[in-house]
Amino acid sequence: MTEAVEWYTSANAALLNHLTTEIKDTDSSTIWRYLVGFKNLLRSIECKGIASVLGINYFGRGYLYPRAHQRFISHMVLGRDLLDNTLNLVPALIPLHKDIKEDSPEYKELEKKNQMIVDNKARAGSVTDAIEYFDQTRTLLDKLRAVQKQLREYIREGVTENLLEARQSELVCAGILVLVCVVSPIIIALVKNAVNTIQVYARNLTEKARELQYEKELSDSLLYQMLPPSVAKQLKQTQQVPAEFFASVTVYFSDIVGFTAIAAVSTPYQVISFLNSVYKVFDERIECYDVYKIETIGDSYMVASGLPVRNGNKHATEIASMALELLEATAACRLPHRPDQTLCMRSGIHMGPCVAGIVGSKMPRYCLFGDTINTASRMESTGEPMKIQVSSDVKRALDRTGLFVMQPRGVVDVKGKGEMTTYWLEGRTGPSPVRPTTSSLDYTPSFLARIQSQRGKTSPRYQPASQTHAKIT
């Protein structure tokens, strides 16, 4: 075991010695090493001098008190370590120290006497031995001071060399400074020109980015009018949206009574403008409710609540409140080209399960499928002008809220469903929300007017034309 430990000790010693040598060679600067070595050498000579005083006491008295013996050992060890540290920092001093050890016959004798002091065995005091120890210690310290003098010369040479290099660097820096002073005006002019160019480019880029953002908001707003925002975002990210089942939704259908007769006595342009203005009024009103406009086909207007974002049991209440407000808005509308003729609307509501999803890829539409949609359409088609017909399922849901007034209509023969008991939704028990009355009809689509009103204050170029005609389908 001892042999194995000694083998590892030797290997570690060789490795540490190699690392010490490599670390010393990694730094080309030597002044700091010389200065630290000079300080350590001074302290080493001081510690050895203190230890020599205690050693003289030992040989003169024949013993040392424990405290003095402890101080001797600590100063001897510290002096030896500081000297070794100096030799590691300044390898050029190693030959001088080696000569001191080999050429001084009293060195080995002094080491033996120091070991006697370390052992601190009692002996007879001798002034002669004390004087001899003092002479040997003084000789050794004088040789160390000679090494210190040599180290001082190394420091002087190193400082002189560094000062010379500093002067040369000053000359080079002065030349560079003169060159910079000559070239600076040219560089400043070029930089100024480049900065102006960059500023112009940045302004143009900012303007283009603002225009791009505006166009993106326009396209996103139009897309969100055609598809639910959540579905549109998913469609843009994944390119496909799976169909989804909804256990309970409320669907609203309405159409304009006598639309065929109105279209017969109107020009195509007047029909388009008339429908666009009516749908704009409806679109502004339904934004106040948790509903989603599914589509408009001709004069038919379809709205649902409870999808694509589920809202618990609120969908029946939201649709009923919306239907009453749309009925009020219809009574206040007038045809632009026939101001003496009022509008009459027929509405129907039904609730139940359905499946919703995206249909088509070129012009995707968010469509609803199921018997609930068919029944809601029948509630509208079998209704009467300026009345809202609801199914018994809707009545039960609204009765639980206690907020609406309904009257029974009776049994109605519904195509495809047979006889059904239906009811008229006549109003709310509480006050209805106050909405502005629309006397004149504007043809600008709601989403475009909203964006233009937001942008018009900061970007005059985005002001809309006097009139914009669009067909919302």
Residues 167, 252 within the same domain: no
Which of residues 175, 204, 223 is at a domain's end? 175
- How far apart (Å, rounded) are the C-alpha atoms in residues 301 and 291? 13
Residue keyed to tokens 């400043």: 188
Residues 161, 283 within the same domain: no
Residues 167, 256 within the same domain: no
Residues 130, 43 within the same domain: yes
Which of residues 175, 193, 222 is at a domain's end? 175
Number of Cβ within 10 Å of residue 235's Cβ equals 17
Instruction: Kindly state the tokens that stand for 438.
Output: 């629309």
pLDDT of residue 436: 44
Please list, in sequence order, all residues whose beta carbon lies within 8 angstroms of the beta carbon of residue 200, skipping any fewer than 6 positions away: none
In a domain, 273, yes or no: yes
Give the domain range for residue 340.
244-443
Please report, in tens digits, the pLDDT of each residue of the chain (473 residues total): 667 767 877 877 776 576 556 555 545 566 778 888 888 888 888 888 888 888 888 888 888 888 988 988 898 898 889 888 888 888 888 888 777 777 767 777 888 888 888 888 888 888 888 898 888 888 888 888 888 888 888 888 888 888 888 889 999 999 998 988 988 889 898 999 999 999 999 999 999 999 998 888 887 777 777 777 777 777 777 667 778 899 999 999 998 888 888 877 778 888 888 888 888 888 888 888 889 888 888 778 899 998 888 888 889 999 999 999 888 888 777 776 666 777 788 999 999 999 988 887 777 788 889 999 999 999 998 888 888 999 999 999 998 888 899 999 888 888 888 888 999 998 888 655 544 444 334 444 444 455 555 555 444 444 433 333 333 22
- How far apart (Å, rounded) are the C-alpha atoms in residues 367 and 355? 8
- Domain total in the chain: 2
- How far apart (Å, rounded) are the C-alpha atoms in residues 460 and 452? 10
In a domain, 396, yes or no: yes
Q: What is the pTM of this model?
A: 0.50
Residues 163, 267 within the same domain: no
Residues 25, 146 within the same domain: yes
Residues 248, 167 within the same domain: no
pLDDT of residue 438: 42
Residues 146, 248 within the same domain: no
3-state secondary structure of 239: coil
In a domain, 20, yes or no: yes
Residues 104, 8 within the same domain: yes
Contacts 24+ apart (CB under 8 A), 263-266: 265/338, 266/337, 266/338
- How far apart (Å, rounded) are the C-alpha atoms in residues 165 and 381? 102
Residues 154, 285 within the same domain: no
Question: How distant, in Å, are the alpha carbons of 87, 274, 285, 288, 289 from that of 435?
Answer: 97, 21, 8, 10, 13
- How far apart (Å, rounded) are the C-alpha atoms in residues 196 and 209? 20
Instruction: Provide the residue type at 298 as one letter.
Output: G
Residues 27, 164 within the same domain: yes
β-bridge mates for residue 412, sequence order: 420
- Whether 394 and 349 have beta carbons less than 8 Å apart is answered as yes
pLDDT of residue 434: 47
In a domain, 299, yes or no: yes
In a domain, 190, yes or no: no
Please list, in sequence order, all residues whose beta carbon lies within 8 angstroms of the beta carbon of residue 72, skipping any fewer than 6 positions away: 51, 54, 55, 58, 64, 117, 118
In a domain, 345, yes or no: yes
The CATH number of whichever domain residue 266 belongs to comes to 3.30.70.1230
- Whether 55 and 137 have beta carbons less than 8 Å apart is answered as yes
In a domain, 168, yes or no: yes
Which of residues 153, 175, 197 is at a domain's end? 175
Number of Cβ within 10 Å of residue 258's Cβ equals 15
Residues 171, 262 within the same domain: no
In a domain, 376, yes or no: yes
pLDDT of residue 443: 41
